[in-house]
Amino acid sequence: MELIKQPLSMIGLVFFGEAWRAPMAEVLEVDEEEVIAWENDPTTIPRGIEEKLTTIGAGRIGEIQLILHLLKEAGVDRENSDYD
């Protein structure tokens, strides 16, 4: 049974950047080799990992929203800037 619909590599890249395997393993408290095994065979991803990744994603969204709010408060407004 494949729990995660998107490729694990896509999730890892978005959440942790290009070198995503080690940070994902650390956050999920598993060995990097286990993450690599999941990437190669998503049917081996244990139950509960999808929920943990969803929680991580929600946290990242919150962090991004906070940063965007702080940038807006500081006067960095992309719609009204000359940076485009």
Do the domain assignments include residue 15? yes
Condensed to tens digits (0 to 9), the pLDDT of residues 22-51 reads 999 999 999 999 999 999 999 999 999 999
Q: Is the pLDDT of residue 4 over 80?
A: no
In a domain, 74, yes or no: yes
Determine the structural domain holding residue 25 and report its residue range. 8-78
* 1 pLDDT more than 80: no
Q: Using the predicted structure, report yes or no on whether residue 71 has a pLDDT greater than 50.
A: yes
In this prediction, residue 62 has a pLDDT band, given cuts at 50, 70 and 90, of very high
Task: Indicate whether 3 belongs to any domain.
Answer: no
Reported confidence tier of residue 75, pLDDT bands at 50, 70, 90? confident
CB 37 within 8 A of CB 44: yes
pLDDT of residue 83: 52
Structural domain includes residue 83: no
Q: Is residue 2 part of a domain?
A: no
**64 domain-assigned:** yes
Number of domains in the chain: 1
